């Protein structure tokens, strides 16, 4: 499942450069994750980098965008070519 950033985001920007798919960008008040690009770092890292670096733990799995590991791997391959 893709990740999302909750309203607890302090807008620090720590997560943005860590995303291997450039799925994170600055929103109006908090950073946002484009779920179509989020692979939970499958294919790039052992764990989701946004969640690993977030100082307030606001990068969480998005229950509205559930995907299997196989779907995440396929998405990664499609994004990386």
> Domains (ranges, CATH) in the chain?
3-80 (3.30.70.20)
* pLDDT per position as a tens digit, 16-34: 999 999 999 999 999 999 9
1 contacts 48 by C-beta, under 8 angstroms: no
78 contacts 21 by C-beta, under 8 angstroms: no
Nearest-angstrom CA–CA distance, 67 and 9: 24
* pLDDT for the residue numbered 54: 98
- Per-residue pLDDT 10s for the chain (81 aa) are 899 999 999 999 999 999 999 999 999 999 999 999 999 999 999 999 999 999 999 999 999 999 999 999 999 999 998
Q: What is the pTM of this model?
A: 0.93
What angle is formed at CA 51 by the lines to CA 68 and CA 26, rounded to 5 degrees? 100
Nearest-angstrom CA–CA distance, 55 and 57: 6
């Amino acid at each position: 499942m893709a990740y999302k950033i909750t309203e607890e985001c302090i807008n620090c920007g720590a997560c943005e450069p860590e995303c291997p798919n450039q799925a994170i960008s600055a929103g109006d008040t908090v950073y946002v994750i484009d779920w179509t690009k989020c692979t939970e770092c499958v294919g790039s890292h052992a764990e989701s980098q946004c969640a690993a670096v977030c100082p307030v733990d606001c990068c969480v799995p998005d229950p509205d965008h559930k995907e299997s590991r196989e779907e995440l791997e396929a998405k990664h391959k499609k994004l990386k070519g």
